[in-house]
């Protein structure tokens, strides 16, 4: 029994460390998006030339930001959800609905994780137009975001169910 609680405590520490790291990384990505966009506006309207790569980089950073926000939202249980059914059942049944939600979310993330690999294969050898990066870099965000989501969703099973 004691080793199970130690494992849960270890998973909780790792989860909170990952979420804190993701929050900082997301903040940096937003700062980069804002800085690059302001630089593009400054260059276009003040210096009369355009940064050809700025739009493509901002889109790429935004994709990564969205996929890194998903695990944070799942960990906080702050994503939008329809809880009308959960709220209509007795309080003793509500944790069961939370577990069902976690299980369905986990299955969805596992599907995204594994179905991204054929997409990566399909875009092999294709590069972005203005930045010499493979197009696949967009889809690596799916793998990282869904992989982190899978880990954090599994870690939720080690924690008590939080009532919303």
What is the percent of the chain with per-residue pLDDT over 70, rounded to a whole number?
A: 91
What does pLDDT average to over the chain?
89
Instruction: Quote the distance between the C-alpha of residue 8 and its chain's center.
Output: 22
Domain layout of the chain by residue ranges:
2-156
Residue range 33-50: mean pLDDT, rounded: 95
Residue with the larger pLDDT of the pair 89 and 86:
89
């Amino acid at each position: 029994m004691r080793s199970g609680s130690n494992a849960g405590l270890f998973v909780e520490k790792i989860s909170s460390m990952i979420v804190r790291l993701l929050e900082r990384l997301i903040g940096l990505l937003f700062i980069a998006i804002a800085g690059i966009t302001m630089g593009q506006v400054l260059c276009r309207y003040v210096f009369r030339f355009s940064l050809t790569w700025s739009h493509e980089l901002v889109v790429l950073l935004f994709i990564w930001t969205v996929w890194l926000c998903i695990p944070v939202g799942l960990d906080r249980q702050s994503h939008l959800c329809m809880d009308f059914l959960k709220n209509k059942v007795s309080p003793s049944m509500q944790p069961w609905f939370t577990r069902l939600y976690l299980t369905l979310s986990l299955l969805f993330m596992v599907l995204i994780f594994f179905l991204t690999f054929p997409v990566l294969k399909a875009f092999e050898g294709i590069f972005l137009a203005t930045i010499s990066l493979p197009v696949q870099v967009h889809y690596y965000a799916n793998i990282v975001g869904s992989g982190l989501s899978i880990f954090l969703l599994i870690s939720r099973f080690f924690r008590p169910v939080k009532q919303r």
